Structures are given as structure tokens and as C-alpha cells.
Structure 1
Amino acid sequence: MKFKHLILSATLILNVINTIAQTHTFTLGDESFLLDGKPFQMISGEMHYPRVPRQAWRARMKLAKAMGLNTIGTYVFWNLHEPQKGKFDFTGNNDVAEFVKIAREEGLWVILRPSPYVCAEWEFGGYPYWLQNETGLEVRSKEPRYLKEYESYIKEIGKQLAPLQINHGGNILMVQIENEYGSYGSDKEYLAINQKFFKEAGFDGLLYTCDPAPDLVKGHLPGLLPAVNGLDNPTKVKKIINDNHDGKGPYYIAEWYPAWFDWWGTKHHTVPAQQYASHLDSVLAAGISINMYMFHGGTTRGFMNGANYNDQNPYEPQISSYDYDAPLDEAGNATPKFMKFREVIQKYLPVGVKLPAVPAAKPTISIPAIRLTQSLSVLNILPTAKTNPTPLTFEDLHQDYGFVLYQSVIEGGKTGVLKLQQLRDYAVVMVNGKTVGTLDRRLNQDSLALTLPAGKITLDILVENLGRINFGKYLLQNKKGITQKVLFAGEEVRQWKMYSLPFANLNGLKFGAVKHDSGSPVIKKGGFNLNKVGDTYLNLSHWGKGVVWVNGHNLGRYWNVGPQQTLYLPLEWLKKGHNDIVMLELLKPNQNKIDGLNKPVLDQLQP
């Protein structure tokens, strides 16, 4: 009987795969999308492959099906796939084609958004940092250097994903060109070049644009379907699309926001489930297709968070958690919002269709207190320096993310103000190897009063890139580090050594036993043993500011200002037996212990 059951299960899976693997048609009707000539209401949820461990993609998609989604939306991230000019990467968590194929196996369609600008609360809005080193290059424009790099990138994306479009037997229904362009510009010639590039890259199915309602006229390319973001009044959705699409539909909300994201030092954002369940009901009742942003946010790991900045608001770097108060939480578990949305969606399923059961929550564990028994001062791991009379930016150093240490020797025996002109973004200032203060761009801090001892003084300034701006007119003002000059007591400090510390990996670090720390940023290492694995959360509320790696995986940044006080550690990256943990701590070098929790803390601010 068991063998027979396995055969039936395998047959069922193959039938699901074959259903989507057949060549289908997907076209625009006057009111609805048409799948194989029949009206099709897209109920989609956004989920980004780099924000979820590859081993968990399939499980998240099963939950998408259980909530009633028939489609998954995802951006494609240029800076992941071409981290250095001409060097492309589609391996591991960057294997976007495999992400799309798994969706097909799970009976899900895909909406693809390779833009190439994505916003997404992502570093530089998805652009690779090295674009800023191309003299005269202007993103989101007809500037020739930009178009050359853009064309090269989108052709590589086309090689990976164009064969997976529905008109080639795949499951990609539509492909979005650009992304909310109307919020940035209004050049229709530029949009037409986007369309041309996409078609030449092999994206020969349905293309569309998306924009917030106030900017849709500027960002829409006539001839393509205009989708609207951030609007869920059915009458208004239909009117704005009719007005820009020859009086016709289909009607598509490309970003419907049932939640919102967080940034450091600001309260955690939540949106009541019941309030948005009623909005979802009215939209689906009107026959409008929808992509909820986000269905599942996940985590922005490593150094890939972006930041907001405009003339009214200060610099606002986003936190590592991208929980987003979404229907599926950061760890991939169904929330009350998920269940309420599922109830609504069930009302609009075809007759006879029942939703799969909701998978049980993943197991969680609380790791007992971990002692960090090895330590290394950041000042003792410096690579070969680059020298220059004035400070060099990250971009000058051909460094993408992480930290740069700026070092100079100055004459002491005086009191004065140290001023870093255009600091980007956070600095730990050290005198003779000891921390004397910090400067924070969020708070418009660029100056520190110092009294220096007599003699020659070593001035070290460790600068962190907290994330490049990802939205608005300042995309081209995104260089990092000390971007102008340094003054002390009114005089310019010159003759600098720059040490690149990208922390792309921790290979080669030689730790010693923990001892009384000198008062400067440190890297600490420890280990812990597990009898079983489960999702867990590292409690960082008693630490200062830094980054955590477990078993070589960068879990993201922590910062006790909040609102995020924990880092999510997925069970997929833990193992039975011994596990390694490494922490870079900027502010509290004498901390030596960290503990685990079985749930996140995302809503606690500290002064």
C-alpha cells in the first residue's frame, strides 16, 4: 500500500507540472486577462528570492498556494547578478531561474520585474555600486554609458529567464519594464528604449509598466498595459487604467500594500489585518487582478538594505528584517493576516476548487547563552593600505559594501572640533586606538569636539556604508565613506591611509583568546552545539551595533536603537552538532555573551 501511495503522489505531482508546462496563451482582454482565451484573475503575492534561503523557496510557495495565490511576483536584482562589471552570478541564492521553475512545479505563475531599477528597500535600488565609477553615467536616462551597461545586463537576464515565459511553455505571465518611473521622470523615449532592450533580450510576451496613481501618466508607455500601485478603490483603479489604455482594461494593481517596512530608530509599522481584508474583498469582487507587496518579505541579509532620503526627511537606512507585517512572517509562518486574506480569497475561487491545508508553523528553538571566547581588534586585521592626500570614497577604492578605515597622523596637544564633511554614513572615531565618539548621518552629525594628548596622534575613523539611497532624485548622489574633507580645529587633515574592510567573507581571520578589549571595534567568535535544529532569533538588545555571521552566513545588521532587537536565524543554516558564530561589534567591545529567543522582537526602540 505504501508503494502504491508513492506512485499516486508522484503521478499527481507530474500532472500539476504538466498542466503548467503545456504551452498556454496569456493575452489582454478588454476587462480581464485571458489565459487560454478565458478570463483569469491574477491573485499574486510578492516574494524575493534573495530574501529567503534557497532551501526554503518551495515551502514558502506551498504557503502561497494555501493562502489562495495563483501567482508569485519578484524583482530581479542587478547588483546581485553583476556585482562587478562584466562578472555575472546566477548561483546559489541568486539562481532566479530555479526560483521560477520551482514556482511552476508548485502550480504557480510568475510576474517578473527585472526593471532594472527595483527600489525594493534594496541597496541603491538594485543598481550595482560600480555604475557610479563610470564617468558621466546617469541612471534612468538615455545617457549612452548607462544604456550600454543596462543593455548588457538585460541580455544576460534574458538568457536566464526569457525561455521561461508562458509563450515559450514556461510560467512567466508578464514582464515589467522599468519600475515606478513616473515618480522619477517622464521621458517616453527612454521608456521606449526599455521596451526595445527587453524585446531584444528575448522578452517577447506581455510587457507592462507600473506606477503610483499620481505618477502613472508620466511613467506609462503608450501601447503597454499600465498597472497602478498603492490604489485599491475599484472605481479609481478602473478609471485611471481606462484613461491611459484606450478606455480598456485589464485592471491590475501591481503593488497593493497590506503592510509596510521599517527603518532604524523609528517605530515598527503594522497594518490591521481586518482593515485590509475588506479592501482585498472589494478589489477581488470587482474582478481586478492584484499583486500584494509583500506576501512574504523575509530578511535583507548582508549589507543589501537601502535607505530613503529627500529634502524633507533625514537619511533613513532600512533595518535587516523585511518582515513587513506581511501575511507570511519573516520566518515563513502564516499570520492572522494570512488567515483573514485566505478567507477572502476563498470566496473568489472557481467553483469546486478548494485550498490546500495551511502548513504547520516551522519548529523553533531557543539557543542557550553562547559565550564568545575568541576576539580580534578590527585595528589588527587591516589589509594593505591605499594612500592619498585626501580621503577616498568606497567607489574610489572599488569597494561595494561594508566598512573603510581612514587613518592619519596629526599633531596633538590641542582642543578642537573634528569635522567630517559629507560623512556617509556612520563613523566610529578613535584616537590612539581608543574610541572617543561616533557620528551618525541619520542625526545630521558630522562633528565631534576632541581634546588630544601631546605628541603625534593616530586618528582612525571607521566608516560604515549603511545602505545607498534606493528611491528618489538622489540616486546619483550615493557615494560612500568620507566623501569630502576632514577638518580638525579648522585645518584640513591630509595624508590618509585607507583600509578596505568589505567583510564579504571571514576567511583568514586569526582569533586570540578574549581579553580586556582596548575600547575599539572588535570581531568576536564563539560556538554552540545543537541536538536539534529549528528557527531561532538572536537577542541583540544588550549589544551595540554590528553584524552577525553564523556558519558563514551573514544574517544582517543589528543596532540597539531598534525597533529590531533580534536577528532571524533560519533552521536551514543551522546543523546538529557544532555551529560557529562571529560578531562584529562597533560600540560595546566588552560584551561576550549572546542568547537566543524563539520569537522575534521587532518593535522596541532604545534611546
Structure 2
Amino acid sequence: MSLRSSLRSLSPFALALAAMLPHCTAAQAPAEAHRFAGAGDHFELDGKPLLVLSGEIHYARVPREYWRQRIRMARAMGLNTIATYVFWNVHEPKPGVYDFSGNNDLVAFIKTVQEEHMHVLLRAGPYSCAEWEFGGFPAWLLADPKMATALRTNDPAFTAPVERWMKRLAKEVGPLQVGLGGPILAVQIENEYGNFSNDPSYMKHMRDVFVAAGFTHALLYTVDPSKALAKGEIDGVYSGVNFGTGRAAEALDILAKQRPGQPLFATEYWPGWFDLWGHPHETRPVAPQVEDIDTMMRRGASMNIYMVHGGTSFGMMAGASESTGAYRGNVTSYDYDAPVDEAGHATKKFFAYRDTILKYTHEKPLPVPEAPPVIAVAPFRLTHSTSLWEHLPKPIHSDLPKTMEQVGQSYGYILYRKQIVLQPGANVLKLDHLQDFALVYLDGKLMGPLDRHFHEDTIKLFASGKAQLDILVENTGRLNSTKKMRDETKGIHDASINDLPLRGWEILSLPMSTEPLVSEGSHVAVSLTPTPHFAKGSFTLDKVGDTFLDVRALGKGVIWINGHPLGRFWDIGPQGTLYVPGPWLKQGRNEVTIFELLKNDAAPALAGLTTPILDAPTPGYDSDPELNHKPGEEFVPAPLESPATSPANKPAATSPHTLGSIGGK
């Protein structure tokens, strides 16, 4: 019998369970060291064949109270391993300041996986991608101007903070490596580097960083899409392949040819895809995926389903992507059309995957864990509102505009203010390096929006005389892939009117990292003037459960509930609801606070639904010339003639850039 036939004849789940049982009593006895390694065409754990059947779950995208339920869902689908990225930016929010508490308690997550008799693949980075803000890199890296060329290179400007971080990470999770009796079978070096560049010396350096940090008691590995395998691999280090629907046979063949004599491993198999603002909701069909899983199982290939449960990019952690040269922010939901949906429920894909996996492992199906309860919340209104202009911090004075990173800010908003003198007629304001979305005001009156999504950086100001210019800029999410990540500083670099540079600015940092205070005495939001504002409302519950907050009456902004940051909303679709975890709600009064750039309704009504809306209309998408021009063609955006014809005032049926009409729907 061949090694691969022998592997198929064994139950990988049973092997996993047997291997993990000693770990469950680690508190009572010293942890027993184990050995995980490649052995010809298969992996072995303590000398016995192990087929790694993994599902990816990101602890930062799941409320801590639900970690165990999501892990049990993966196990019930027939998996024996959990993979997770480690997002550097949530653990080191400022240089040398670390956070491994609460939802960032990585050790607790790994131990929970261990308690559920499963293994761990630790995707340590330092780069993650994952449609996460800046691919998991901390934004403060960009405060160093050298990062424009240093990111993901051997430049000490990048490698010095990486080495410091990896040593700190190893201090947390190093004892949990399999060779020390822990559940971590393998630790990933970098991530899809072949998609970024081709520098073998950099990848070897990264390997040395991991070894020096203490990641020497687990298998080290790299991952890349099939077309980039050769550019991202390291001699002597295991390499796996990433691919999506319908490509299993092809991708495994490429891996076998590129890395002969090693076990086959689909290190990312994509059951779905991510969503972008203004782009129709993404799904993937089940039938060809069942064929893919059947192919992988039949060939004895280990696999990691990315994602088995996607979760949510809470707060401002959703990143951004590029399509045909256009920047587009990722939505808050990371449902990913995964087998376990955003709220932890089994889908049709879950059962189809499970049936295919169990056909090969010969295990009896485990009971599907009960999903958290879902409740409806009766409609309620956001009634108390206050203008942003009434709550501004002290300004920073600077001759030139400074970016968020230059003022020590990572996320949120930044305001640039200056007194100007305008000439009669059209005055052309041009913003240099606008990232990502700006509202331009003269004396508090909105002149119009400028949006990086549509390559906009100029607007005509029809006024004359002295005026106060305000430019309010939103960080809509940093790119999480490609070399353009190096140029992801947020805000503006410079500004001019009629080609004359503007100097002498007041800069106001608005990170909004915590829930803003909106008092009950604030006035009711009845004005139709499109003023950036905070608003507050509340609802009362007799019982607690998950719900999906319907935000379709809102325009563009961010939202908190009982102090927890839910994420961004934007009425250009496709996401129409935000997932609200039950543990964040309470019996009795629950408070909702928003910051809204532009609004649809003077006093919008919200409600909690029992099913999500992830496929809301994306008006104008099909007619958007930028998204439909042929690759290689230069896109020339239409000029903004005046506030009356600016994209903010175009009908929703013809432009995805409406953000809701300024004066209400």
C-alpha cells in the first residue's frame, strides 16, 4: 500500500483527537512534546500520518464569547485544525505598546482551540492581507517616510520593528508550539509574498527572524497563489498553494511540480469572496466547490478552508482593495459566503462540505452546535444630534498639511482648516494625494464630496471673497495588498486653489477610537443641511440575542452600540445591515451612537432584523465608466462643475456616488 493510500485509509480526525487528548490535561501534568513534519507525500504527527483539515477563523473578527461556538462549528464540519492570522496592528497599536487582552487574547483563543481537541495553524505574518486594515500592518509604520520603499524589504526601517514584534509574539505563543506540547502544528512566515515581490534574500531574512524569535518547535511554512509560488518560497521551508473555486486539480498539479516530494497542501481554499462598497455582493456556487474538496481529499491533500467562518471587521478594521486600478473600500461584513455565516449559522455549503469530507474520513457526523439566538428589534429613531463643528479638538498648526500618520493617528477622520480669499467665478481646489474621501466646506456650507473611489481630487468653488475652507477627510481603509500599500498615508499631502499652493493650516485629529458622547440635551436632528454630525438613539430589550441592524436609512459613517464599535455603513451598498452580537446587548436600555458624514433622513429610523441584508442595491454600478473601461485604458473622470451638479446631488439611479441625496431621499 502506498503512503498516500495508507494516509487515506486512516481517520485524520481520530488521529487529531488522539494526539490532542494529552493536551487537555496540561494543567495537571507537564505538556508532552510532539513532532509534526512532512514525511514524503504526507504529514506525520508523532510518526503517524495526519491529514490536516483546517478551517480559518480570525479571533479578532469574532466576539470572544463566541470563539468556542465557531470552533465547534468547524469541528462539526469534519475539520481537525483551526487556522488564524495574527493581526499585528491590533496587538501593537503604538510602537512598543502591546495589547493581548480581551478580544486580542491570542493565547486564550489558541487554548480554546486546544480544549476543543483541534490543532492550530498560526499565520504569524507579519503581513496578513485578509481584507484587514493595511493588511494587518500597524499604521504607525507609515509615519516613517522610508516606508514608501522599505515595506516588506530588508531595509532596517521595516525589519527592526518586525524583529521586535516577532520576539514579543513568540513570548506569548511560543510555549504553545507542538514541539513543546502545544496545539500549534505550523507557523506561517510572511504571506503571499510572491504576489508582492521577488526577493529571496528578504524571505530568507524573514525565516531567520522567526527562528531567532523562537519559532523552532513547529513546522515553518509559506503560502502563495499557484502563479506566484516560485517567487514566494524559501529553500528548505515548506510551501503551500492558495486557490479558489474550480482550480483544485490545476493548483495541486502546479504545487506538485514546483515542490516535488513534499505533501500537498491547499493552504487557502476560497469558498467565497469579499465585498466592496458600491460593488454587488459576492457569492460562489456550491457544486464546483464540492468537486474541489473531493479532488483534494481523493489526492490526500491537506487543506485550509479560507474562510470556514469569516466574521466581521468591527470598527474601522476593514481594509481596501483595488479592481482594474480603482481603490475600493471593503465593507464591514466579512461573511465571505463561508460555510458558517457571519452570525455562526450553518449554511447549505456547510452540509455539502461536511458530507464530502466525511466520505473520506469515515467519521460519523458530530451534532451541529446550536447557533446563538437571533432577535428582532422594533424600529427606533436616532433623535438627539449634535454637529461635529461643536466638538472639535484643539488644532495642530502647520505650514503644510500633515497626514494622519504624521500627527500620530491611525484611523478615523482628519480635518484641514484654513482662511482663504477666493476670486469671482470658479475657483478650482485641487487636493494632492487625497486618501480617501473628503467633504469640502466653505463657511460651513458643503461644496461637495471628493472620492478616491472615482479618482476625484478637484472641485470648483463658486464663491468670492474671504471664507473658511474646511476639508474633512475620511480614512475608508488602507489597501491590504500590492505594492501600492506603501503609499497608504491618509489625509492629504497638499492643496492648491487655481494652481496656487495653500499654506498655513490648522489640522484637527479626529480618530474616533471610542464612542463619542452625545447628551440627551442635544437638539433633534431636523435640519436638511448636510452637516457632519453625531446622533444618538436607544431601544429596550426584554431578551438578548444577535440581530442585524438595518442601516439603510443612514448615509455614510460609523456606528457604536453600547460602546462597542460595529463598523462602517454606506448607502451605496451592498451591505444594508450590520451584525450586532448578542453579548454586546443587554436587557433594558441599549444605546446607539453614530457619526455620519452625510445623511439620508433628518431623524432616521433603524431596526434590528432577524436576517442580514448583504446584497442591497448598488445603484449605478453597472453604468460606472471607471469599473467598465477596458484594462489598460486611461480613465478620465467627469469634472465636477458645481455643487449643484456634484456627484452628491446626482440621482441614485444613475450614480453609485450619491451617498444618498444631500437633502434626504
TM-score range, shorter chain: over 0.9
Confirm whether residue 420 of structure 1 aligns to residue 431 of structure 2: yes
Confirm whether residue 53 of structure 1 aligns to residue 67 of structure 2: no
Shift of 1:596: 2.0
Match of 2:53 in 1: 43
C-alpha separation in 1, matches of 2:252 and 2:465: 73
Structure 2: which amino acid aligns with 1:525?
K
Match of 1:334 in 2: 346
Shift of 1:308: 1.7
Structure 1: which amino acid aligns with 2:300?
G
Q: State the SS of the aligned residue for 1:586.
A: strand
Q: State the SS of the aligned residue for 1:124.
A: helix
Shift of 1:103: 0.2
Match of 1:349 in 2: 361
C-alpha separation in 1, matches of 2:253 and 2:499: 60
User: Structure 1 vs Structure 2: percent identity of aligned residues?
Assistant: 43
Shift of 1:108: 1.0
Shift of 1:244: 3.8
Match of 1:217 in 2: 230
The equivalences for 1:342-491 within 5 A come to 342-350=354-362, 353-412=363-422, 414-416=424-426, 417-452=428-463, 455-483=465-493, 485-491=494-500
Question: Residue deviations 1:91-137, cap 9 Å, x none?
Answer: 11111111100000011100001110111111111111111122424
Change (3 A) 1:343 1:19: farther
Equivalent residue in structure 2 for 1:258, among 259, 271, 285: 271
Change (3 A) 1:15 1:27: closer
Match of 1:147 in 2: 159
Shift of 1:371: 1.9
Indicate conservation of the 8 Å contact 1:305/1:320, yes or no.
yes
Shift of 1:54: 0.8
Match of 2:35 in 1: 25
Question: Residue deviations 1:287-314, cap 9 Å, x none?
Answer: 000001111100111111111237x421
Structure 1: which amino acid aligns with 2:489?
K
Indicate conservation of the 8 Å contact 2:23/2:182, yes or no.
no
C-alpha separation in 1, matches of 2:105 and 2:59: 8
C-alpha separation in 1, matches of 2:560 and 2:432: 32
Indicate conservation of the 8 Å contact 2:385/2:518, yes or no.
no
Structure 1: which amino acid aligns with 2:57?
M
Shift of 1:362: 2.6
C-alpha separation in 1, matches of 2:517 and 2:282: 40
C-alpha separation in 2, matches of 1:401 and 1:273: 37
Match of 1:538 in 2: 549
Match of 1:240 in 2: 254
Confirm whether residue 124 of structure 1 aligns to residue 134 of structure 2: yes
Which has the larger displacement, 100-109 or 491-500? 491-500
Question: Residue deviations 1:225-272, cap 9 Å, x none?
Answer: 111111675654454334443x31211111111111111111111001
Structure 1: which amino acid aligns with 2:239?
P
Structure 1: which amino acid aligns with 2:215?
F
Question: Residue deviations 1:416-456, cap 9 Å, x none?
Answer: 2222222110011222122221111101111222222x542
User: How many equivalent pairs are there?
Assistant: 589
* Unaligned 5+ runs, structure 2: 1-19, 620-651, 653-665
C-alpha separation in 1, matches of 2:55 and 2:26: 21
Change (3 A) 1:382 1:25: same
Match of 1:501 in 2: 510
Indicate conservation of the 8 Å contact 2:249/2:292, yes or no.
no
Structure 2: which amino acid aligns with 1:380?
E
Indicate conservation of the 8 Å contact 2:130/2:480, yes or no.
yes
C-alpha separation in 2, matches of 1:531 and 1:235: 53
Equivalent residue in structure 1 for 2:567, among 531, 556, 566: 556
Which has the larger displacement, 133-142 or 120-129? 133-142
Q: State the SS of the aligned residue for 2:405.
A: coil
Match of 1:599 in 2: 611
Indicate conservation of the 8 Å contact 1:543/1:591, yes or no.
no
Shift of 1:495: 2.0
* Unaligned 5+ runs, structure 1: 1-12
Question: Residue deviations 1:447-472, cap 9 Å, x none?
Answer: 222222x5421121110001111111
Indicate conservation of the 8 Å contact 2:275/2:281, yes or no.
yes
Shift of 1:278: 1.5
Q: State the SS of the aligned residue for 1:595.
A: strand
Structure 1: which amino acid aligns with 2:436?
D
Match of 2:7 in 1: none
Q: State the SS of the aligned residue for 1:159.
A: helix
C-alpha separation in 2, matches of 1:428 and 1:457: 16
Question: Residue deviations 1:126-162, cap 9 Å, x none?
Answer: 1111111224241111101211111000001101111
Structure 2: which amino acid aligns with 1:529?
T
Shift of 1:507: 5.4
C-alpha separation in 2, matches of 1:426 and 1:168: 49
Indicate conservation of the 8 Å contact 2:435/2:474, yes or no.
yes
Confirm whether residue 571 of structure 1 aligns to residue 585 of structure 2: no
Shift of 1:506: 2.7
TM-score (structure 2 length as normaliser) = 0.85
Match of 2:169 in 1: 157
Q: State the SS of the aligned residue for 2:416.
A: strand
Indicate conservation of the 8 Å contact 1:16/1:106, yes or no.
no
Structure 2: which amino acid aligns with 1:17?
C
Change (3 A) 1:238 1:508: closer
Structure 2: which amino acid aligns with 1:552?
G
Indicate conservation of the 8 Å contact 1:430/1:520, yes or no.
no
Q: CA RMSD in A?
A: 1.9
Question: Residue deviations 1:39-75, cap 9 Å, x none?
Answer: 1111101110110001110010111111111001011
Q: State the SS of the aligned residue for 1:429.
A: strand
The equivalences for 1:193-208 within 5 A come to 193-204=205-216, 205-208=218-221
Q: State the SS of the aligned residue for 1:368.
A: strand
C-alpha separation in 1, matches of 2:215 and 2:165: 13
C-alpha separation in 2, matches of 1:541 and 1:118: 31
Indicate conservation of the 8 Å contact 1:209/1:220, yes or no.
yes
Structure 2: which amino acid aligns with 1:240?
I
Indicate conservation of the 8 Å contact 2:22/2:32, yes or no.
no
Match of 1:176 in 2: 188
The equivalences for 1:8-19 within 5 A come to 17-18=24-25
Match of 2:628 in 1: none
Structure 1: which amino acid aligns with 2:187?
V
Q: State the SS of the aligned residue for 1:481.
A: coil
Shift of 1:22: 4.1
Change (3 A) 1:414 1:596: farther
Shift of 1:515: 4.5
